[in-house]
Amino acid sequence: MIGRGWRARCSRGRAVRAVFSLSVVSALAIVLPAGAGALVLPEEEARTAAQFWTTARMRQARPLEVKMPEEPQIAFAGSAQPTGEEPHVYPPLPARREATASSRFDQVPDPTALDLRVNGVIFFKVPPYGFGRCSGTSVNAPNHSVVITAGHCIYSGGPRGSWLDFGSVFVPAYRYGQRPFGVFPVRWIDTTRQWRTSGSENADIGAAVVGRNEKGQLLARAVGGTGIAWGLKAAQVFDVHGYPVEAPFDGETQRLCSQTPFLGHDVDSFTAVGPLNLAVDCNVTGGASGGGWTIRDGILNSVTDYGNFGDSRTDFGAYFGKEAGRLYGRAGRIK
Amino acid sequence: MTFRRLLVTTFAALCLLVAPASSPASSRGFESRFGLKVGHGYQLIVFAEGDTIRIEVGSPRSLSPDNLFAPRSLTAYVARGTVTRRRIAASFGKFGRIDVRFHQIGRAVALPAREHCRGPDHFTRQEGLFVGGIRFEGEHRYVAVHAPRAPGVVFSPLSLHCPPAHARPATPERARPVAPVGIGYSHRFLFAFWRHVVASAHLEAEVDRGHVFTSAYVEESLGQVAEYRFALAVSRPQVFAVDNALTRATLAPPAPFHGEGTYEAAPDGTKSWTGSLSVSFPGAPRWPLTGEQFKVSLGGGL
């Protein structure tokens, strides 16, 4: 993915982050007014997108973020308190497996396994630079067609942001160019309102509604969908999924940090709009943006958003609060 | 960049980091503020804006925006809470809790109006008394406050949009070369930092035009509270000695810093940053600024 993808950031980095955002703004042609609602893509465009994404093009897609230096693993004992949000939980479609604890972003043995096929790659064009990519998760929804990802994989963020709407597709269970469940063209995208209006990383959550694959299947009918929850306490234990591209990874395999606990909130999230975000120990790199964080029973409860300079082992994700719930609701109602 | 500008930039950077991010509605927002003298030479100022409450602790000189050349050391505690024009309420966990209501005294004072504004054209200052519970205890009780009231003010709006009448839109970049601004003088700098999970520390020293500017910035998230610490010293150039090959440097800035740090770069490219250099923040005396956990770089040039 590009610009504000899963990216390194320094703590004094508001200026740095601003530069990243600008690069996205200049790279994209379509600029909508602040607070504009969801973007509906023409049906024909969605269909051609699925044909456009050949294996070769998928392999060319790169995250365009700053690379992270290697850092030793450091443990940290965080604390957490209830958030005061009303908890909402929607159940998943398929059954889940038991995970073993690991903060290494390990390759999963079989991305087509029942509980892993919901995770995939979002590919999109970034004219004139080439092809970008993010990670995403199929979520159980009334229309069986919702993918949850990071907001910056959908919209570059802030009042002058831009939609990343160029020929996007979702490929669940992607592996070495294989598309075992086909390609699902994106036909509707949206983010939290706070991500669009303020660009606050606390609200960096996005959603896409995809069309049918080449076999005419709806996404959740083909691969299932995770449950989703918002308003829960921050202190959860997460399975972090994603398709990291930057070293030491190559983007060709699905990765998993299993049973990694909440460690605390990023200091910068205290002074930004939206609920305090979440930190976990997981060595993700660029391309893992938007990858799902699931809790017990395979419930989606966050997505990968960013990392910081000097600490390649910590992954930050947005807290799923009311705004995340509203976004999911809007996406699930799209016919 | 002149030395004074460097100082202003750094102090402004601190304010930017600690202050809540401005929202689109900032022109309609407000900031509440009250202060207390808390003993041991410290002052405590509470700022509230949006849903963020910030407690800054330091000497009156450290908290003052005046005299940027003065040494300073301050600690800020930030938490989310309830902020309205009438109420400030937030829990600072183990550090305490603030829950006060604003009782205005007299009428609001309109500050001088600006010209060419879009929206409001002046700030308003309402003085009053914050009444309720103010309980704050810093680490190891370096400050302890239990107060039922404090005088304060409510400023509004948060910002004005009043561009100068002669302001013009930015012109396109020109093809001819333009001399870059801010270079053309010799300087040396050392930068050291570490970060893990939700904590980080930065040290910067820069010699420029006869002065050494040393600053330390430390931040940490502790559950529902974020802590920011900042220290600054301006001193004579002798405190920062650097060899011409940029392979060795020593840094021994004055208070609030203590001790000396030594940078060494070996021929094989390995770097070390060792010594007794530390800094005293409110609530965190002798905070270490050297060691293996720091990534360090030394530079210099035009």
Indicate the range of A199-208, B123-132, B146-155, B161-170 predicted with least confidence.
B161-170
Residue among A12, A200, A279 whose CB faces B197 most closely: A279
CA distance A34 to chain B (A): 10
Q: Which tens digit of pLDDT belongs to each residue from A79-97? A: 333 345 667 777 665 533 4
CA distance B173 to chain A (A): 15
Q: Do B223 and A272 touch (CB under 8 A)?
A: no
Look at A310 and B197 and tell me if their CB atoms are within 8 Å: no
B54's enclosing H/E stretch is strand B52-58
Chain A CB contacts of B227 under 8 Å are 267
Tokens of B207: 């010699």
Same-domain status, B130 and B210: no
What gap in Å lies between CA A315 and CA A66, rounded to an integer? 15
In this structure, the number of other CB atoms found within 10 A of the CB of residue A23 comes to 16
Q: Are B122 and B112 in contact (CB under 8 A)?
A: yes
Are residues B151 and B192 located together in one domain of the fold? no
Instruction: Report ipTM (2 d.p.).
Output: 0.80
What confidence score (pLDDT) does residue B28 get?
61
Displacement of CA A28 from its chain's centroid (Å): 20
Tell me what pLDDT residue A92 has: 60
pLDDT for B2 equals 39
What percent helix, strand, coil does chain B show, rounded to 5?
Answer: 10, 55, 35
Residue with tokens 């910067």: B204
- pLDDT level of residue B65 (50, 70, 90 thresholds): confident
CA nearest B129: which of B162, B106, B163?
Answer: B106
| B15 assigned to some structural domain | no
pLDDT of residue B166: 62
For residues A116, A119, A121 and A122, what is the CA-based torsion angle, rounded to 10 degrees?
Answer: 160
Our count of domains for chain B comes to 2
pLDDT of residue B80: 96
Per-residue model confidence as pLDDT tens digits over B248-269: 999 999 999 999 999 999 999 8
CB of A71 within 8 Å of any CB in chain B?
yes
Map residue B13 onto helix, strand or coil: helix
Closest partner residue to B17 among A12, A79, A309, by Cβ? A12
Judge whether residue A34 has pLDDT over 70: no
Instruction: Out of 3.40.630.30, 2.60.40.1730, 2.40.10.120, 3.40.50.300, select the CATH number for domain A14-333.
Output: 2.40.10.120
Which A-chain residues 196-225 have CB contacts (< 8 A) with chain B?
Answer: 197-198, 200
Structure tokens at B167: 């302001």
Is A81 in contact with B78 (Cβ distance < 8 A)?
no
**pLDDT at res. B112:** 86
Residue A3 has pLDDT above 90, yes or no: no
B24/A11 CB distance under 8 A:
no
Please indicate if any CB of chain B lies within 8 Å of the CB of A234: no
Q: Find the range with the poorest average confidence among A64-68, A86-90, A189-193, A199-203.
A: A64-68
Using a CB-CB distance cutoff of 8 angstroms, which residues of chain B are in contact with residue A159? 24
| A95 CA: distance to closest CA in chain B (Å) | 32
Residues of A in contact with B220 (CB under 8 A): 267
Q: What percent of chain A has pLDDT over 90?
A: 58
Q: Indicate whether B195 and B294 sit together in one domain.
A: yes
Specify if B18 maps to a domain. no
User: Does residue B182 have a pLDDT over 60?
Assistant: no
Distance of residue A196 Cα from the nearest chain B Cα, in angstroms: 11
Is residue B79 in a domain?
yes
Residue A68 has pLDDT above 70, yes or no: no
Q: Is residue B23 part of a domain?
A: no
- Interatomic CA distance for residues A219 and A179, integer angstroms: 13
Binding-site residues on chain B for chain A (CB distance < 8 A): 13, 16-21, 23-24, 50, 52, 78-80, 193-200, 202, 217, 219-224, 226-228, 295
Q: Is residue B207 part of a domain?
A: yes
Residue of chain B with shortest Cα separation from A307: B197
B152 in the same domain as B78: yes
Task: Verify that B257 and B140 share a domain, yes or no.
Answer: no
pLDDT of B17: 42
pLDDT band at A27; cut points 50, 70, 90: very low
Cis amide leading into A244 (omega within 30): no
* Positions of E strands within chain A: 39-40, 88-90, 102-107, 119-126, 130-139, 146-149, 169-172, 184-191, 206-210, 227-230, 237-242, 255-264, 278-281, 292-295, 299-308, 311-317
> Under a CB-based contact definition with an 8 Å cutoff, are residues A240 and A293 in contact?
yes
Q: How confident is the model at residue A320 (pLDDT cuts 50, 70, 90)?
A: very high
pLDDT-derived band at B218 (thresholds 50, 70, 90) equals very high
- Best probe of the A interface among B95, B198, B220, B295, by most A CBs < 10 A, is B198
Q: Do A308 and B20 touch (CB under 8 A)?
A: no
Q: Are the Cβ atoms of A270 and B295 closer than 8 angstroms?
A: no
Torsion angle, CA of B93/B95/B99/B100, rounded to 10 degrees?
Answer: -160
Helix extents (H) in chain A = 14-27, 43-52, 55-60, 193-198, 219-223, 322-333
- Which chain B residue is nearest to residue A315, measuring alpha carbons? B197
Number of A:B CB contacts under 8 A?
Answer: 102
Statement to judge: residues B67 and B151 lie in one domain: yes
Q: Using 50, 70 and 90 to split pLDDT, how confident is the model at B244?
A: confident
Q: Which of B80, B196, B217, B294 is the best residue to mutate to test the A interface, defined by the most A CB atoms within 10 Å of its own CB?
A: B196
What's the whole-model pTM score?
Answer: 0.80
Give one word for B215, left, alpha or beta, with left for phi > 0 and alpha for psi -120 to 50: beta
Banded model confidence at residue B186, pLDDT cuts 50, 70, 90? low
Do the Cβ atoms of A214 and A50 come closer than 8 Å?
yes
Contact list in A for residue B202 (CB cut-off 8 A) is 11-12
Q: For A265-305, what is each residue's pLDDT tens digit?
A: 999 999 999 999 999 999 999 999 999 999 988 999 999 99
Greater confidence (A16 vs B133) lies with B133
Residue B83: pLDDT above 60? yes
Amino acid at A54: T
- Residues 6 or more apart in contact with residue A262 via CB below 8 angstroms: A78, A80, A234, A235, A236, A237, A238, A278, A279, A280
CA distance B75 to chain A (A): 14
Identity (one letter) of the amino acid at B20?
P
pLDDT at res. A29: 30
**Cβ atoms of B220 and B90 closer than 8 Å:** no
Tell whether B211 and B264 lie within a shared domain: yes
What ranges do the domains of chain A cover?
Answer: 14-333
| Residue B210 belongs to some domain of the structure | yes
- Ranking A102-106, A156-160, A198-202 by mean pLDDT, the lowest is A102-106
Sign of CA dihedral A242, A246, A247, A252: positive
Residue among A14, A266, A271 minimizing CB distance to B198? A266
Residues B148-176: tens digit of each pLDDT: 999 999 998 888 888 776 655 544 444 44
Report whether pLDDT(A197) > 60: yes
Nearest residue of B to residue A198, measured between CA atoms: B23
Closest by CA position to A24, among listed A333, A270, A244, A289: A289
First to last CA, chain B: 12
* CA nearest to B201 within chain A: A11
Distance from CA of B151 to the nearest CA of A (A): 25
User: What tokens appear for A318 in the block?
Assistant: 């947005």
Instruction: Please give the residue range of the domain that contains residue B234.
Output: 187-301
AA letter at B133: G
Q: Are B229 and B287 in contact (CB under 8 A)?
A: yes
Position A177: which residue type?
G
Question: Tell me, what amino acid is at B103?
Answer: H
